[in-house]
Amino acid sequence: LVLTTTFSILSLLVIIVLVFLLIHNATQNSTAQTPLKQFATSDPQAIYTQVTAKIPLVSDAFSSKTSSDWTPATTGSCTVSGNSLHITAPQGNNVLCASKTLSVSNFACQVQITLGQGDTTGLLFRANPTSRKSYVIELTPQGTYLLGTGQSGTTAFKILAEGISSTINSGSNLLTIIALGSIFYLYVNKQFIVSTSDLSSDSGLVGVASGGTLTNVAVDATFSHFQVWKL
């Protein structure tokens, strides 16, 4: 399992290096970081309910947007249609669609992911163009997950959490990350998966990604209902 998920995350790390070529020149609409607050409960499932019950800052990140707002950082395409973002890549390639404007710090993010074809799919957040650090979440059709952080262009990548969960479907999954300061809560299909902590990057841009390098397949994935809550 460790080898499977570690090699899997490396497929997305390849495209993290390239995404900063896009992010570095992006105009960030970041806001001042709010003071760190504690949740009213220590129960991760209750935290999910508490956070997602609030009015989101962004109710649908793809609505009324154009494909240029989510430009691919690697080989492949990012096509916005309605409330969805459709990403594709040729056989054996990866694709990452990075937002040019959506910057986050203390936040919750939720997106519906449907993987039609490919090895991996996931989310990149707090991608900082100054420190060139970011966090990556990856899911596989085999039900494995991985949350890691590292510096682009280096081998200094740290796995924060990894494992397998029966909650993860082979096709479509609702992925949620809640980040408050150095604490992270990961959920799939509204169910708590794991909690971990790290503070390699405290703010930055977000992106979605999928890869097909592990088994040399083409990539076809759809992301929809992308919501962001500010904490």
pLDDT class of 154 with cuts at 50, 70, 90: low
* pLDDT at position 155: 66
Portion of the chain with pLDDT greater than 90, in percent: 50
Instruction: Pick the range with the lowest mean pLDDT from 2-16, 55-69, 71-85, 101-115.
Output: 2-16
pLDDT class of 200 with cuts at 50, 70, 90: confident
pLDDT class of 62 with cuts at 50, 70, 90: confident
The whole-chain average pLDDT of the chain stands at 82
Both tokens of 172, joined, read 């479509």
The most confident of the ranges 5-14, 16-25, 194-203 is 194-203
Q: State the Cα–Cα distance between residues 75 and 210, nearest whole angstrom.
A: 11
